[in-house]
Amino acid sequence: MAKKIRVLIAKPGLDGHDRGAKVVAKAFMEAGMEVIYTGIRKTPEQIAHIALQEDVDVVGLSSLSGGHNTLFVDVARWLAKVGKKDVLLLGGGIVPEEDVLYLKQNGFAEIFAPGTDTKTIAEYIISRVYPKLGNE
């Protein structure tokens, strides 16, 4: 039996636009993953604790508010602080290209821009997480 990939989709900070997060969550479910959606307006600290308790393999953050440089990096710090190791950190939303590099230098494996096919993201996750889980 292939082990399930567990993904946390979270929205940090004061940003109520979660259509994108929901679409991605549903797409990952359809790709066979177990997806936990936090709902909107979570703090980086909460997201880190939730990721720990849910023992997820992937944390995907969504932001359309422009606060990604602060909030996303804060989530990465809190994950380390609560002792949540070995997690694939992804971002999505309105993130200018010049910020992508900064986020990648701060713990993010990939940032997906608007218009990315959800299948592309799902395939990326599977290719990164399956070897870790020991799935073929």
Partner 1 sequence: MEDIDQLLQKIRSQNMAAIAHAITLVENRDDGYLTLLDKLYNLPRHSFVVGITGAPGSGKSTFVNQLVPQALETQKKVAVIAIDPSSRFTGGALLGDRIRFSDAFPFDRVFFRSLASRSSLGAVSSALFSILQIFNGALFDCIFVESVGAGQNDLDIKDYVDMVLLFLVSGMGDEVQCMKAGIMEIADLFVINKIDLYPPAPLFLALLNHLSLHLSSETAQSRIVQTDALHNTGFTELWHTIENFRQTCRYQKRSLEKDTALLLKNEVERLFTEKHIQKKLQELLSLGTSPYQMVEKMQKLLEEMLGDPHD
Residues of this chain that interact with partner 1 (CB under 8 A) are: 1, 3-4, 6, 25-26, 28-39, 42-43, 46, 49-50, 52-55, 82-84
The values of phi and psi at residue 14, to 5°, are -90, 80
In this complex, which beta carbon is closest to partner 1, that of residue 83 or of residue 105? Answer: 83
Comparing CA positions, the residue from 112, 130, 132, 90 lying closest to residue 2 is: 130
Q: What are phi and psi of 109, to 5 degrees?
A: -80, -40
Beta strand spans in 94-129 (E): 110-112
* Closest distance to partner 1 from the beta carbon of 38 (Å): 6
Which of 28/108 has CB closer to partner 1?
A: 28
Shortest Cβ 93–partner 1 spacing (Å): 19
Of residues 52 and 94, the one with the C-beta less far from partner 1: 52
